[in-house]
Chain A
Amino acid sequence: MSEKYAVIGKSVPKIDGRVKVTGQAKYTGDLKFPNMLVGKILTSPHAHARILSIDTSQAEKLPGVKAVITHRDVPALKYGISPARWDENIFCIDRVRFVGDKVAAVAAIDEETVYKALKLIKVEYEVLPAVFDPVAAMQEGAPQIHDEYPRNINTEIHQNFGDVEKAFAAAHHVRTDQFTGQRTYQSPIEPHSAISIWEDGKLTVYTSTQSPHYFQYYIAREFGLKMGDVRVVKPFVGGGFGGKLEPTGLEFAGAVLSRLTGRPVKMFYDRHEMFAHNRGRHRQIMKITTGVDKDGKILGVHADFIMDGGAYTSLGIATAYYAGAMLPLTYEFENYKFDMYRVYTNLPACGAQRGHGAPQPRYAFECHLDMLAEDLGMDPLELRLRNARRPDTVTPNEFKINSCELKACIEKVREISGWDKKKGKLPHGRGIGIAVGSFVSGAGYPIYRTNLPHSAAMIKVHEDGSAATLYTGAVDIGQGTDTVLCQMAAEAMGYTYEHMKIVAADTETTPHDFGAYSSRQTLMSGAAVKQAGEEVKRQILETAAAMLDIDVSTLDCREGVVFCQSNPEIQKTFAEVAREFFVRKGPLVGRGSYAPPKLGGKFKGAAVGTSPAYSFAAQVSEVAIDEETGEIDVKAVWDVHDCGTVINPALLHAQVHGALFMGMGEAVWEEVVFDEQGRIKNANLSEYRLPTALDMPEITSQLVESCEPDAPWGVKEVGEGATIPTMGCYSNAIYDAMGVRVYSLPLSYEKVWRALKEKREKEAGGG
């Protein structure tokens, strides 16, 4: 028992690994209830149109159809995940705003009948002019998408910290560059799906969600129900990445259909509908200006961004703030200006995707810094070291940084990638690039204003002590929370992981938790679990002390054994003590809850980006570019993370691999493309090109020593942080290989080919 921890820090098998690989795990789409109906939503074929009439009579007459609903049958109350801009209706009332906007829904006895019924609903539209580009949408005279928002401006941000103009005036060198991102979609393997059962005044929803709590809150609000009369249950979930954080419409429509028919209603999106529902990454147009001194010290930064929000707000206000708020995390500078317009367009609504607003600005900033380094004749890695944030500092936008080992990350990635041997020294066609990143370990404030704790947990030890069940509202969507939290519970209790059970993410049986977003659960849910575990342990030790007639302070408990610290011969098993507790006092229960301290400044938007702790990462990638085709072959990626104490190394590295996979897809291939009518051209997994296993490079994922003072056992996030540097990292490696810069995402083969062609033509022309 020499090791510091008995259960955490170990790659224990995933608690749900066996049921998942054997197919026993039940996802929402697998569930069946007696008399269950199937429902589907009819959506708009037009990007912008007035609804003149809806005739459902033919559909209603089709045998097997049990209910057809439109806006007339549902509450007119607008909803959204961002309380500042509730702008969605369950069904469009007078206007549709993108191809895929929700118009009506059907419940029928089977899928075949539902699809037939959808075709029998006659909707008469008057097509209106549409706008698909945020810059065009901001012009006077552009089609007005929501009457309340002139020039289609959904969110406008102007933040100014220090004096950027003064900093630029004093700078040795000032440079401006502009980059453009692209629309990407999360593409979880499991499609969205919800089963609604409204009976006896109570609504139960089984759904593929990242947050049962927000679903419960918004569903209750929409229907005027008490939260206690809405139960949201999360079965197994096959990935979310931000796209399953807010109600999808399936829950609202399904609830009404269930109330009307008195039967359970299953609703789902197919792959195309998932793309249309979207809530993926915003496309950002990013102008960025930086002033540096002659040694490359950053004096001031101005980020001037526009983002395409699509037809609704979704989580986009937060995205807009995040886009600017995350930039100063990695480098120390005092003067920072951030301007942003989030603009409505007649395209599917964008929301939060892994890394939230941060990855595209980070791509812009990291490319821009490499260009600055070149201007100064500096090694870009040196430039980053010179500016890298140190621990116990405060960002210009008033984020308090406690632990921060970014410099150590950069030094380590330099070493393991062989940077010094490779940078500028690789043969033509090969290149190496660096980028860094940082992310929150849980949002400092919830999405709607409330003083509820962010996480809560309860542990009940079984009566004979042979097992313990953790009840948590935390949401495992594949990332491994259930496993990690059970490890934490066992550690705190002095118990064994193998005897842990878990009941999670059910608003009726488990304590409140805000859910899986902003990389929050290891720290926040973990803090609540630790507290609950410690309460169990305290009761175990007290009972053991009474049983052994020994002073409680001499006892400890570890891996299911209570022992006397001065004489380990004196011991009892956790199980026998737990059983004795039950005999004497009843159920052995521990409880915990967590709320972060008050964080951040007082300026408008100060809350977005606050967090009790921040992760840091440095990535280096090596690429080979085919000069004739522009093909990018990523040979290797080295990722070094500062993510605090590690609970489960295997899961941690899997998160790095997964995040890199997404970052790589967004860097090179992924882009949602529309035709001139605003219809998605590639709403499928063939032409929306996620990388395959064959496309993945060799990945080296390593860590630096780090411990976060304000977190349980010193943990921080990893799940989103590793997506953030990748796009800039590849762009910089491509530049190192070929001397060309691609200014927009994705860095497709064709764009690299074109940049090379233009470079050759320019060189030939210049003689």
Chain B
Amino acid sequence: MTRPLTRCGQNEVKRGMAMYLPDFDYYAPASLPEACALLAQSGPRAKVLAGGTDVLPMMKKEKIAPEILVSIKKLHQLTGIRETPGNKVVIGARTTHNELVNSPVLQKKYLSVCVAAHRIGNNQIRNVGTIGGNIVNAVPSADLPPILIALGALIKLTGTGGERDLPLEEAFAGPGRSAISPDEILTAVIIPGSSLTGSTYFKFAHRRSGALAVVGVAAAVTMEGEVCREARIALGAAAPTPMRAKKAEELLRGRVVTEELLEEAGRCAAAESKTRTSIRGSADYRRDMVRVFTKRALRKAIKDGHS
């Protein structure tokens, strides 16, 4: 058993406004099994720490109060982006947003992922925030899930009971709640090989940097000439979890793409969305933005490939 590196006493009651990190035990296990065992043993008292761009602010705001933070910084098998047989791209869960932005593999195959990563937070955030964190925190407005879902990504989870793959779109249970077991660690994101000819992500936000999405829309398509063979549309900040706009996808399959069809798909996606009013926009505005950006994302994915 690893000894905690830091011991800071006990937790306090909620006060609401403090901006000071509450006490916690800190572990940095050297192996994945050790990390999983620690999580299994601690249950909901523990939280995985990667970049800390979500976990630490939430702790400061006392929205969460984990007693134990399990850093995965020593788990080097969680890093790197590589192509594997079967035309798959495997992205280690600890990969930072800026590593996504600057990855030659992604730039060549899925520039849309680089573009989405580049719209996250600001440069400081992108230097430390990770793809795994962007997924497991299950923030409805997160920028990476929509494009990864559109690309059909799977996540690889390791727990005390072994390893499993889960389609990313099944990984979310609600705002801030993932479908991942407390003893599981997300180790990698896998973009499977596919025949998709284009993909893109539009983030609509109130300023060009350092803003969360009003809505985020990703689209991926397989085009055969003018005919859309396959379409996958994923929405961010449009429902309690990232979601597929499956009716809009169905509308497009096998059809010759026209401006009218894209407009119809946009309307359909808007109707499917479950937007809500928040500080970033009212529900009806967001719903209409789903329409606008679904149309624009489809248009771009069809025209510009993975962009």
Q: Mark A750-766, 1 if CB is under 8 A from B, else 0.
A: 10011000000000000
| A119 contacts B288, C-beta separation under 8 Å | no
Residues of A649-687 at the interface with B, using a CB-CB cut-off of 8 Å, are 669, 673, 681-682, 685-687
| A753 contacts B210, C-beta separation under 8 Å | no
B209 in complex: contacting residue of A681, A687, A692, CB < 8 Å: A692
A683 nearest CB neighbor, chain B only? B17
Residues of B within 8 A of A748 (CB): 206
Q: Does B1 contact A (CB under 8 A)?
A: no
Looking at the assembled complex, report how far the CB atom of B211 sits from the nearest CB atom of chain A, in whole angstroms.
6
Looking at the assembled complex, report how far the CB atom of A103 sits from the nearest CB atom of chain B, in whole angstroms.
13
| A271 contacts B279, C-beta separation under 8 Å | no
The list of the 8 closest CB pairs from A to B, nearest first, reads A694-B208, A270-B19, A115-B20, A692-B209, A628-B292, A750-B285, A695-B207, A694-B209
B281 nearest CB neighbor, chain A only? A750
Q: Mark A612-649, 1 if CB is under 8 A from B, else 0.
A: 00000000000000001101000000000000000000
Bound form: Cα–Cα A58–B206 in Å? 45
| A119 contacts B17, C-beta separation under 8 Å | no
Bound form: Cα–Cα A276–B17 in Å? 11
Looking at the assembled complex, report how far the CB atom of B230 sits from the nearest CB atom of chain A, in whole angstroms.
26
Residues of B189-206 at the interface with A, using a CB-CB cut-off of 8 Å, are 204, 206
Q: Does A90 contact B (CB under 8 A)?
A: no
| B279 contacts A681, C-beta separation under 8 Å | yes
B207 in complex: contacting residue of A111, A118, A270, A689, CB < 8 Å: A689
B208 in complex: contacting residue of A45, A681, A695, CB < 8 Å: A695
Looking at the assembled complex, report how far the CB atom of B303 sits from the nearest CB atom of chain A, in whole angstroms.
18
Residues of B209-223 at the interface with A, using a CB-CB cut-off of 8 Å, are 209-212
| B210 contacts A111, C-beta separation under 8 Å | no
Chain B residues proximal to chain A, CB less than 8 Å: 12-13, 15-20, 122, 204, 206-212, 279-282, 285, 288-289, 292
Given A115-B20, A692-B210, 4 new contacts (CB under 8 A): A628-B292, A694-B209, A695-B207, A750-B281
Bound form: Cα–Cα A324–B138 in Å? 50
- From B17, B122, B285, name the one whose CB has the most chain A CB atoms within 10 angstroms: B17
| A750 contacts B282, C-beta separation under 8 Å | yes
Residues of A within 8 A of B13 (CB): 119
Residues of A231-288 at the interface with B, using a CB-CB cut-off of 8 Å, are 270-273, 276
| B281 contacts A43, C-beta separation under 8 Å | no
Q: List 19 A-B contacts (CB under 8 A).
A: A45-B16, A111-B20, A119-B12, A629-B204, A629-B289, A669-B206, A673-B279, A681-B279, A686-B210, A686-B211, A686-B212, A687-B212, A687-B279, A687-B280, A689-B206, A692-B210, A694-B207, A695-B208, A750-B282
Residues of B within 8 A of A687 (CB): 212, 279-280
Looking at the assembled complex, report how far the CB atom of B212 sits from the nearest CB atom of chain A, in whole angstroms.
7
Residues of A within 8 A of B12 (CB): 116, 119
Residues of A within 8 A of B292 (CB): 628-629
Residues of B within 8 A of A111 (CB): 20
Q: Does A691 contact B (CB under 8 A)?
A: yes
Bound form: Cα–Cα A272–B18 in Å? 8
Residues of A within 8 A of B285 (CB): 750, 753-754
| B20 contacts A669, C-beta separation under 8 Å | no
A100 nearest CB neighbor, chain B only? B17
Residues of A within 8 A of B19 (CB): 270-272
B15 in complex: contacting residue of A112, A118, A753, A754, CB < 8 Å: A118
Residues of A within 8 A of B211 (CB): 686, 689
The count of A-to-B residue pairs whose CB atoms sit within 8 angstroms is 61
Residues of A within 8 A of B207 (CB): 669, 689, 691-692, 694-695
Residues of B within 8 A of A43 (CB): 17
Residues of A within 8 A of B212 (CB): 686-687
Residues of B within 8 A of A272 (CB): 17, 19
Q: Does A749 contact B (CB under 8 A)?
A: yes
Residues of A within 8 A of B15 (CB): 118-119
Bound form: Cα–Cα A565–B210 in Å? 60
Bound form: Cα–Cα A119–B16 in Å? 11
Looking at the assembled complex, report how far the CB atom of A592 sits from the nearest CB atom of chain B, in whole angstroms.
45
Looking at the assembled complex, report how far the CB atom of A750 sits from the nearest CB atom of chain B, in whole angstroms.
5
With known contacts A115-B18, A270-B19, A749–B208 Cβ distance under 8 A: no
B209 nearest CB neighbor, chain A only? A692
Looking at the assembled complex, report how far the CB atom of A62 sits from the nearest CB atom of chain B, in whole angstroms.
11
Q: Mark A114-149, 1 if CB is under 8 A from B, else 0.
A: 011011000000000000000000000000000000
Looking at the assembled complex, report how far the CB atom of B123 sits from the nearest CB atom of chain A, in whole angstroms.
11
Bound form: Cα–Cα A535–B209 in Å? 52
Bound form: Cα–Cα A12–B208 in Å? 34
Looking at the assembled complex, report how far the CB atom of A436 sits from the nearest CB atom of chain B, in whole angstroms.
27
Residues of B within 8 A of A270 (CB): 19
Residues of A within 8 A of B17 (CB): 43, 45, 272-273, 276
Looking at the assembled complex, report how far the CB atom of A22 sits from the nearest CB atom of chain B, in whole angstroms.
20
Residues of A within 8 A of B210 (CB): 685-686, 692
A692 in complex: contacting residue of B20, B208, B280, B288, CB < 8 Å: B208
Residues of A472-522 at the interface with B, using a CB-CB cut-off of 8 Å, are none
A749 nearest CB neighbor, chain B only? B206
A693 nearest CB neighbor, chain B only? B209
Looking at the assembled complex, report how far the CB atom of A369 sits from the nearest CB atom of chain B, in whole angstroms.
29
Residues of B within 8 A of A695 (CB): 207-209
Residues of B within 8 A of A116 (CB): 12
Residues of A within 8 A of B208 (CB): 692, 694-695
| B204 contacts A112, C-beta separation under 8 Å | no
- From B12, B206, B212, B289, name the one whose CB has the most chain A CB atoms within 10 angstroms: B206
B266 nearest CB neighbor, chain A only? A628
Looking at the assembled complex, report how far the CB atom of A304 sits from the nearest CB atom of chain B, in whole angstroms.
30
Residues of B within 8 A of A686 (CB): 210-212
Looking at the assembled complex, report how far the CB atom of B20 sits from the nearest CB atom of chain A, in whole angstroms.
4
Residues of A within 8 A of B16 (CB): 45
- From A629, A673, A692, A695, name the one whose CB has the most chain B CB atoms within 10 angstroms: A629
Looking at the assembled complex, report how far the CB atom of B292 sits from the nearest CB atom of chain A, in whole angstroms.
5
B296 nearest CB neighbor, chain A only? A628
Residues of B within 8 A of A273 (CB): 17
| A753 contacts B209, C-beta separation under 8 Å | no
Residues of A within 8 A of B18 (CB): 115, 118-119
Residues of A713-767 at the interface with B, using a CB-CB cut-off of 8 Å, are 748-750, 753-754
Bound form: Cα–Cα A174–B193 in Å? 69
| A112 contacts B20, C-beta separation under 8 Å | yes
Looking at the assembled complex, report how far the CB atom of B84 sits from the nearest CB atom of chain A, in whole angstroms.
36
B212 nearest CB neighbor, chain A only? A686
Looking at the assembled complex, report how far the CB atom of B197 sits from the nearest CB atom of chain A, in whole angstroms.
26
Bound form: Cα–Cα A749–B292 in Å? 14
Looking at the assembled complex, report how far the CB atom of B60 sits from the nearest CB atom of chain A, in whole angstroms.
9
Residues of A within 8 A of B204 (CB): 629, 631
Looking at the assembled complex, report how far the CB atom of A765 sits from the nearest CB atom of chain B, in whole angstroms.
18
